[in-house]
Homo-oligomer: A and B are copies of this chain.
Amino acid sequence: MILYLLDLLGVAVFAISGALAAGRKSLDLLGVVVIAVVTAIGGGTFRDLLLDQHPVFWIEDPIYLVVILAATALTIIYTRFRKPPSKALLTADAFGLALFTISGAQIAEQSNLSSIIIVLMGAITGVAGGVMRDVLLAEIPIILRRGNIYATAAIMGVIAYLILQQIGFNRSVAALLGMGVIAVLRLAAITWGLTLPVFSLPDHESE
């Protein structure tokens, strides 16, 4: 029950971040809703398709869509009057990432998949919605572009979750600690501007 509420909260946070990103591109109202929906459910949808999990989670339980529509409407109304609180939002987004990633990893775990696939499915669930948002906005996805420890935090969190279970921790405790790793890494990266190194080839090598 708490997990379900947290999941809905994660969807709402991701919808808000999608709506704000859309607002910077001057889309129309429907466009904003589309981007918010894609950001919030894109990762989980891709995971369900890859794992052949049907019905896809939001088809089975449309309350997700209702939450997204409500969060988007509130975002549009709120930003008419005030500046969006970017610090609060980044923090909420870090928790959304933590939650989506570990819940995605747990769904992959139930299908008895190998560890590398569980890590990948967790990361896909956490970040693919943001990637799709950026593709629709015709930008190179932010998680690829800047070395700002986003997908990296997700990957580290799932690895921690798997190792903790291996050394004897109970599944729920391992999940909570895995989420903690993601949120802490992500918040640390935001606070201190940590980045991954960039891999860059000189242009004369192109073609």
> Which of B34, B141, B199 touches A144 (beta carbons < 8 Å)?
B34
- Closest B residue to A147 by CB, please name it: B28
B137-A28 in contact (CB<8A):
no
Name the interface residues of A151-174: CB closer than 8 Å to any CB of B. Answer: 151-152, 155
A102 at the interface (CB under 8 A from B): no
Residues of B within 8 A of A146 (CB): 28
A176 at the interface (CB under 8 A from B): no
- Closest B residue to A204 by CB, please name it: B83
Q: Count of chain A residues with Cβ under 8 Å from any Cβ of B? A: 65
B136-A138 in contact (CB<8A):
no
> Which of A3-11, A91-99, A113-121, A178-186 participates in binding chain B?
A113-121
- Closest B residue to A59 by CB, please name it: B117
> Which of B28, B131, B139, B144 touches A198 (beta carbons < 8 Å)?
B28
B27-A144 in contact (CB<8A):
yes
Number of copies: 3
> Which of B116, B138, B199 touches A139 (beta carbons < 8 Å)?
B138
Residues of B within 8 A of A198 (CB): 26-29
Q: Tell me the complex Cα distance, A25–B58, Å.
A: 35
- Beyond A79-B201, A141-B136, A197-B29, whether A206 also contacts B34 by CB under 8 A is no
- Closest B residue to A65 by CB, please name it: B116
When each residue 65-77 of chain A gets 1 if its CB lies under 8 Å from chain B and 0 otherwise, what string results?
1100000000010
Name the interface residues of A192-207: CB closer than 8 Å to any CB of B. Answer: 195-201, 203, 205-207
Residues of B within 8 A of A20 (CB): 201, 205
Q: Kindly list 13 other residue pairs between chains A and B, CB separation below 8 angstroms, not including A31-B143, A31-B145, A31-B147.
A: A22-B199, A23-B200, A26-B200, A28-B197, A30-B152, A34-B151, A45-B50, A50-B56, A52-B52, A52-B54, A58-B117, A135-B135, A135-B136
- In the A-B complex, the 6 residue pairs with the smallest Cβ-Cβ separation, listed nearest first, are A28-B147, A31-B144, A23-B201, A52-B54, A28-B196, A26-B200
